[in-house]
Structure 1
Amino acid sequence: MKRRIPALTPRRPSRRRVPAVLAGVALAVVTAGCQVNSPVQTDVAYVPADGVPVTVGDLALRDLVLVGDGNGTAMISGSAVNLGDESMTVQIAPQGDPSATTPPSGSEVELSPRQQVNLADKGLQLSDVKGKPGALVPVTVISNTGGTAVAQVPLLPATDFYSTVTPAPTGS
């Protein structure tokens, strides 16, 4: 005896499935548009520090800031790295005097090949720094092996992280 297989008739989708599918499609379309207006944050370059980076030839300065109240002497803070194979002299001076034969007192440091130094530990400072904390101060960075660069360096108050960045005591 042969069994008869009933013909398959198309079934109608349930009334609950259609709104659910439409809602899912609508949600996918709406949320896909969010990515267009919000770029991936890791694709945006930024400096994750208070200071600025400056590169002059084989000299790399990182997190360069001036620490002071804007009424005179400001300490230079940051990291200096000699990426080259020869020693270098680094001068940091106010922008108004990039060709000075004598840099301001305490604004010069020697770096051996591949050496990294913390500028705050070297006691480097600039005099006659004017501006309120938070201002950008133009500074010239001179490397005897790589040339000159001008950077807008932030002036920060000697508080919080920078509270220990103060001038070295002078002998009286």
Structure 2
Amino acid sequence: MKPIGWMLCVIGLLWLIYSLNIDISVPGFSGMRVNNIGLMSYRQNNIIISCFVLVVSAIFLGMSYAKKEEHSGEQINITPKRTYTPSDFYSFDVDRGLSLNSEKVKEFALEICLKTIGVDERKSLQLWIPVINELKGGIPGEVAIDFEIMVAYFVRQIKNIKFAGG
């Protein structure tokens, strides 16, 4: 669609330039030039059609760039490399009670990011919702909600890392 869009854009621009340069005057009886309504209408029609071609080319180009941002359509394997269990992500301490193991959550978030390279963080999290919910279901109490929030936080942090020179 991109080549068609660019081709229509060039055609539309050339047609617009041609349309704007159409002479709408004719020689009159007194030697002066007089505007011809028929030629004015012809120029107006050409301008309208060339603008329509430009709008269509913008739509084609917009669609081609929007499709490029979506995932290429290949299947993303959302099966974790290692088998995680809900107990990997929390621990119980008599003094502190239940707490999340943030290092394991970071490791899990990194795996999500590595398996969804080229996909934005929101789409990455959407693809992994079934796995996240399954793990969250085995984590007790409020720690389960903290788990989901922490996974989303770390995925955003990892996906938004800016490298020098890149």
Alignment TM class, shorter chain as reference: under 0.3
**TM-score w.r.t. structure 2 length?**
0.26
Q: Which has the higher contact order (CA 8 A, sep 6+)?
A: 1
More helix by percentage: 2
**TM-score w.r.t. structure 1 length?**
0.26
